[in-house]
Amino acid sequence: MEGLSLVIPVYNGSKFIQKTIKVYFNHFSKEFQNIEIIVVCNACTDNTAEKCNELKDKIPLKVVIAPKRGKGNALAKGFGNAKYDVIGFLDADNPFELNEVSKMIFLLNSSDVVIATKFKKGKLKLQNSALRRFFSLGNAIVVRTLFGLQLQDTQGGAKFMRRNVWTNLNKNFICTGFEFDIELLYEIKKRGHKITQYYLLPKSSDFSTVKMRILPGILYRLIKLRILR
């Protein structure tokens, strides 16, 4: 694996995005011969894009503007701009130990896709809010009953795949928000690609942008996805 295209979706991250880009580049440029970082400004109303552009002279960086808000919209645009053999994303808040992320990525030597999971047999992951517990339980039920995905965690903030996996997918995505991960993995599974899970705990569980008010929309789009696909 010679090249990595790393997508970072971000919403109003002007205060921290430069630090995140530098940390990611300094780490992964030691692991890969070629690297590009693709920051997708997801309906940002601050100067996130300008802050990113300030680093273009020092870092191989693409800044993509996604005017319509939604994690799915951002990731689809980011993946669509990727050029290297390994394509993946990390959250903009730098939630994981990057040495562990590197171990995760190199599992692609024997797999098509590798995803982070917070859950592992014999280990207990405590959620720090009732909303997170509700969301995790509901997500687990949905992915198994509606989509047959026998995965412990579809929502981990780190996923990587070989370029040919993305190339083979139907890009007409129905899911535009947090549920995009489910549609992505569902489409990957339907095409027979091997998905490997890697136990990866975030450094902190305080960061979350999931709000109760968005759950009906998520459920609606997932049901629509199951009916149409």
User: Rounded distance, CA 120 to CA 60, Å?
Assistant: 36
Contact 83, 36 (CB under 8 A): yes
Structure confidence at residue 207 as a pLDDT band (50, 70, 90): very low
Structure confidence at residue 193 as a pLDDT band (50, 70, 90): very high
pTM over 0.85: yes
Write the single-letter amino acid at 207.
F
Is the pLDDT score of 229 beyond 80?
Answer: no
- 62-80 pLDDT, tens digit each: 999 999 889 999 999 999 9
Which one, of 85, 105, 107, lies nearest residue 164 by Cα?
Answer: 85
Structure confidence at residue 169 as a pLDDT band (50, 70, 90): very high
Q: Which residues contact 8 (CB under 8 A, 6 or more apart)?
A: 17, 20, 21, 24, 37, 38, 39, 40, 78, 89, 90, 91, 92
Mean pLDDT throughout 133-155? 74
- Please give the CATH topology (third level) of the domain spanning 3-228: Spore Coat Polysaccharide Biosynthesis Protein SpsA; Chain A (3.90.550)
Strand-pair category, 158-162 with 86-90: antiparallel
Q: How many residues does the chain have?
A: 229
Structure confidence at residue 176 as a pLDDT band (50, 70, 90): confident
